[in-house]
Every structure is written in structure tokens, then in C-alpha cells.
Amino acid sequence: MASLNLPSATPSAPSRRPSHPLFPKPTNFLTTATRTHRLRICATAQNENSPVETSQGNVDRRNMLLGLGSLYGAANLISTPAASANPVQPPQLDKCSTATNLNTGEKLDVNCCPPIIDRIVDYRLPPVFQMKARPSAHRVSPEYIFKYNMAIDRMKRLPADDPRNFMQQANIHCAYCNGAYDQPGQGGLDLQVHNSWLFFPFHRWYLYFYERILGKLIGNPTFALPFWNWDNPKGMTIPPMFLDPKAAIYDSKRNQDSLRAVVDLGMTGNKDPLQVVANNLTIMYSEMIRGNADVYDFMGQPYREGTAVNPGPGSSERGSHTAIHVFVGDPREPSGEDLGNFYSAGRDALFYCHHANVDRMWTLWQYFLPSNKVPDKRITDPDFLNASFLFYDENAQLVRVTVKDCLDNLRMGYDFERVDLPWLDYRPPPQTAKARITRTASTAPRADTLFPLTLDRVARFQVPKAKKGKADELLVLENITVDTTKFLKFDVFVNDEDDNALELDKAAYAGTYAQVPHKTANRKATTTIRLKLTDLYDDMDIADDDSIVVTLVPRHQGPGVVIGGIKIIENPPKATAASP
């Protein structure tokens, strides 16, 4: 077990997490000799700025958090913001209604509503005495697997009306995501935690309490959920421990063709596992680094009281997150149950393992990606920070939590096992062949003659650049109207020289849009996505071109997507994290 030295106290907290003594170069993600690290920390106060007693004496709490033996320190801690005019409020549990099957739009014969108690407590993060270490699911020991199964088994054996019961926990996702809740005071407007800036915070809190419940059930407060390491080739199959039919974490409602197959994050249908891995690494590089111009491109668009439920998903949510849901969901079931539909996703223990890695992606993006490759990653808008949810904690107490209290995983008492990040530098090779694109451009129609465009087949057209030369520009697909009850996905290519839609590991791949079915009042929602073109331009010989050729490749079957327009705009000189 590695012994870690806490850093010395400094006069003020740094603005970002420093490199750790074991990892002096922030861009090197190396696996340590031991799989997990457990640190005993005696915290004497909850105030992040107050002194904390450790084995090395009193140190500033914030500096202590920065050096807890983690790649991801407590950077960019945000103080409690002033009251906001209209953050999304927690649901009224006594007004929970019947949820909806998102694939059919019909009411579910399932009660997703939680037990109701009168007392709601504003939750305060407890002091961190010992850091939990979430392990990679492919690397866990037999002892861990036994402990994990025991915890899930005990959760399943709780009384049916216990809010900590396995099905009650699964129903949390059903209620928040399938239209059982309305926004308080907003009439019949649904409350939805997907497709906006609430996606990451809600699921972080969800897993936080789920993890604490499991730990209490087995008398182990340091128990940590595993993460499915699908961003690493060694983890690009369903973790083996979930395939044992006798295990408590087993679920029979999974795609039988996916049980031992390589995850296809691009949903291209490519059968070559080597090409699928290359596609996956390209997707991860694109959604984490290459395609984001500002904080909202990654986190999702603002969602306030009165906002429609689909303001716009971030790159990670509409990419790898959605792909895993579809990859595992069982096509033999009427609506892709379990993981392939929001109402039933939490019934598969693999869901929490999947979302532990989604949460890890947020942590990596927040604190450890190279600062010269990613935008400002803070959202200071009070409507984001003051948004709140309701959960039952490990003591079955109903608690109210806010987004501002979940911005740092270390303050919440958990970290992640260190593993390689092969996608970190997986930038596609430059594209030099230009002749074929030049010929295609002369025959491709102009975009303004095609839109609005019903995307039920491959579409190719010209889009004028905003500025000649290697400009810093964004490709904007606007007024994308979707049928929210369907799985939908399309990929975007720019100046694709070989037209091979099964291969994504090339400079021409610009990004994607995808959705897991979700309910809206009229089954329609409108959104906009932006794809940063700066790196793509650098990898192509287009400095003298006045336009680019865009190809849209739908991965879904049939209609369901209408794109209102497409354009290229100049990227603002400095992205802002303020309210738009």
C-alpha cells in the first residue's frame, strides 16, 4: 500500500488542483502499484477553510483536500452563492404521478413514486475521515465481488416500502426521468434531469446515497461502487462479475449479443473489434477535449424553472453515456428494458457501475485535463448552483441536496482508482488528400437549399465558413426537433475523404448527437448542438476554402429527427460560464 505525504499548508488555496507527488506530470495517468488507496484522515471541522488535525499536524482543510492522494483535488471550490431567482426546485413527492413509457408514450403500470414522510432535512456533507476509492470493475478482487453482491442482496431483501430497498432506489431514476414529477409551481411542465446541466449533478448525488446505503447494509462505511472502465480498451466489455447468473448483481434483461462483445460507443454496427476500439478512443477524445468550446458544450445547456425539458445535452451525455444504455438494453424486451429505458435502468446493478464512470468523466474533465485543451470548466450561475433534489439517505431520512455541494468528489468522500487514459492523446491523424473533397464540393448542394431537413438517410451538403483561413469556428446545428420517445443518433463528418461511416478515427469526424428515449408533454423537443471545429481545421488543408462539406449519418432507423438549420459561426474570443 502506497504511503502518501500531505502537502504543507500554504497561505491560500491554489486555483486548480496541483500535480500530485506521485504523479508530477498531470497529463500522465498511470496505474499505481496498489489497486486502491485508503487514507485515514481526522477532520475536526466541516468548514473547508478551517484547520484539520492530521498525523502531520494541523493543515488548512482546503490544502488537505488538494493532497488526499488523488489525481483529482479540490480545485475551484465555489462558495455558497446568493439566492437565485429561479433554480429548479426539488419535486413535491406527494404530487408524484404515474410515470410514462418513453418508447411508447403510454402510462406505465409501475409505481415509481417513493414513500412520503413529512420531515425533510437540508443535507450537509459529513467530514471525511477516510477516503473511499471507487475501483475499476474489471480489476476488482474476489473479496470485493463477494462484498458487493452481499450488499446488493441485502438491499433487495429490505421491506418493499423501505426507501433504501433495491426497487425503491431504481424507482428514483424512473420518477425523475420518466415524467412522474412536475416542476413545482410550473403547471404540468415535467421535471427532467437529463439533457441539461443537471445531468452530472443529479447522478452524482444519486450514486452518493446509493453507495452509502450499500456500505451501511454491510457495516462498511468505506465501501465504494465500482466504475465500468469503458473508456479503456481493457474495460470495453461488460465487467465479468455482472455475468454470473447466480450473483445478486446479475440481470437477465440484457442484450445477449453484447454480453462479451466490445462496446460500440459509436453505435456504428462495425464488427471489427480493433476498429471499434479505435472508434471508441476517438469518440472519447472528441467528447472530452476536441469538440467543446465552452462549459455548456460538455455539461449541457442551462435548465431553470419553466424551461422545457430538453434544452440540450452535453457531449458526454449524448455520446458515450447514451451508447452504453443502448448497448446493454435488451432488444427482446418491449422497450429495451432494463438499461435501455430510463424507467427501468436502475433495476440493473450495472447501471450504477456505468454511471460511476460517467461521474469519473466529469471529475477528469473538471480537474485534470490539460488546461490548454479545454475551456473554463466552472458554472457560477446561481440557477445552476442552487438547483436541488430530494433523496433518502442511508438512514432512510429524506434530505434536500443542492448542486453547489456536489461539485467536488473529494469533499463528498470518494475518489477513483487510477487507470490509463489512452484517449487523452488520441487525436486523429491529419487528412491531406483534398482532390476528392474538392470534386464533391462542386456537386454537393448548399445547406440553405435543404433545410429544414428530415434526417432519415445520409445527407451531404456545403456550409459556408464564417471566416477564410484556419479560423476558430463552431458548427451549429440548430432547432433540432426530435421525437423524444425514440432512440435517435446521428454523426457529423466534415470533408470526409473516404465516406466510410463505419470508421470514426479520422480527422473528418466532428461529433455526434444521441438520446435515450425520454418523456415530454407532446413527445417533441427542440434543441441545438455546437461542435468546435478548431482542431479539425488544423488537421485539414482547408485554409483557402470558402466552405466545407458536411455529412450527416443517422444511426437510427426511420424518421424522428428534423434539423431546422445549420451554420458556422466564429467562436467567441473567451467562453463565459455566466448565465447566457
- pLDDT for the residue numbered 107: 77
Per-residue buried b or exposed e for 342-378, using 16+ beta carbons within 10 Å of the residue's own CB: bbbbbbbbbbbbbbbbbbbbbbbbbbbbeeebbbebe
Instruction: Please give the model's pTM, rounded to 2 decimal places.
Output: 0.83
d(CA 122, CA 124): 7
* Marked catalytic residue, from 325, 354, 518, 556: 325
d(CA 116, CA 113): 9
Q: What is the DSSP string of 361-416?
A: HHHHHHHTS-TTTS-------HHHHT-EEEEE-TTS-EEEEEGGGGS-TTTTTEEE
Q: What is the DSSP string of 76-118?
A: T--PPPPP-S-PPPPP-GGG----B-TTT-PBPSS--PPP--S
Residue 31, all three cell numbers = 496505474
- How crowded is residue 460: how many other Cβ atoms within 10 Å of its Cβ? 18
- pLDDT for the residue numbered 272: 97
* Marked catalytic residue, from 354, 355, 518, 556: 355
Polymer length in residues for the chain: 580
- pLDDT for the residue numbered 519: 62
* Marked catalytic residue, from 203, 354, 518, 556: 203
* Marked catalytic residue, from 138, 194, 518, 556: 194
- pLDDT for the residue numbered 69: 33
d(CA 410, CA 20): 14
**Please, what are the domains in the chain?**
94-416 (1.10.1280.10), 435-570 (2.60.120)
d(CA 505, CA 426): 9
Angle between helical axes of 199-217 and 142-157 (0-180°, round to 10): 90
User: Is the distance from CB of 217 to CB of 151 less than 8 angstroms?
Assistant: yes
Per-residue pLDDT of the chain (580 residues; tens, 9 = 90+): 333 332 333 333 333 343 332 233 333 333 332 333 333 333 333 333 333 332 333 333 333 333 333 333 333 333 334 444 699 999 999 999 888 776 666 777 788 999 998 899 999 999 999 999 999 999 999 999 999 999 999 999 999 999 999 999 999 999 999 889 999 988 888 999 999 999 999 999 999 999 999 999 999 999 999 999 999 999 999 999 999 999 999 999 999 999 999 999 999 999 999 999 999 999 999 999 999 999 999 999 999 999 887 888 999 999 999 999 999 999 999 889 999 999 999 999 999 999 999 999 999 999 888 777 777 899 999 999 999 999 999 999 999 999 999 999 999 999 999 999 999 999 999 987 664 566 566 689 999 999 999 999 999 999 999 987 767 899 999 999 999 888 899 999 999 988 899 999 999 999 999 988 766 567 888 999 999 999 998 898 887 788 999 999 999 988 999 999 999 999 875 444 433 3
**Binding site annotation covers 20?**
no
Residue 1, all three cell numbers = 500500500
**Binding site annotation covers 321?**
yes
Told to judge if 355 belongs to the known catalytic residues of this protein, a careful annotator would answer yes
* Marked catalytic residue, from 37, 173, 518, 556: 173
Residue 96, all three cell numbers = 408524484
**Binding site annotation covers 138?**
no
Residue 507, all three cell numbers = 480527422
Told to judge if 173 belongs to the known catalytic residues of this protein, a careful annotator would answer yes
* Distances in whole angstroms, Cα of residue 300 to Cα of each of 176, 332, 334: 17, 32, 30
* Marked catalytic residue, from 37, 138, 321, 556: 321
Told to judge if 203 belongs to the known catalytic residues of this protein, a careful annotator would answer yes
**Binding site annotation covers 194?**
yes
- pLDDT for the residue numbered 399: 98
Q: Cell 408533454 sits at which residue?
A: 521
- pLDDT for the residue numbered 426: 94
Told to judge if 325 belongs to the known catalytic residues of this protein, a careful annotator would answer yes
Closest CA to 358 of 413, 405, 318: 318
Residue 283, all three cell numbers = 469518440
**Binding site annotation covers 355?**
yes
**Binding site annotation covers 37?**
no
Residue 150, all three cell numbers = 452481499
User: Is the distance from CB of 13 to CB of 25 less than 8 angstroms?
Assistant: no
Told to judge if 138 belongs to the known catalytic residues of this protein, a careful annotator would answer no
The torsion region of residue 121 among left (phi > 0), alpha (psi -120 to 50) and beta comes to: beta
SS in 3 state form for 151-188?
HHHHHHHCCCCCCCCHHHHHHHHHHHHCCCCECCCCCC
Residue 329, all three cell numbers = 438494453
From the number of C-beta atoms within 10 Å of its C-beta (0-12, 13-18, 19+), residue 2 rates as exposed
The torsion region of residue 417 among left (phi > 0), alpha (psi -120 to 50) and beta comes to: beta
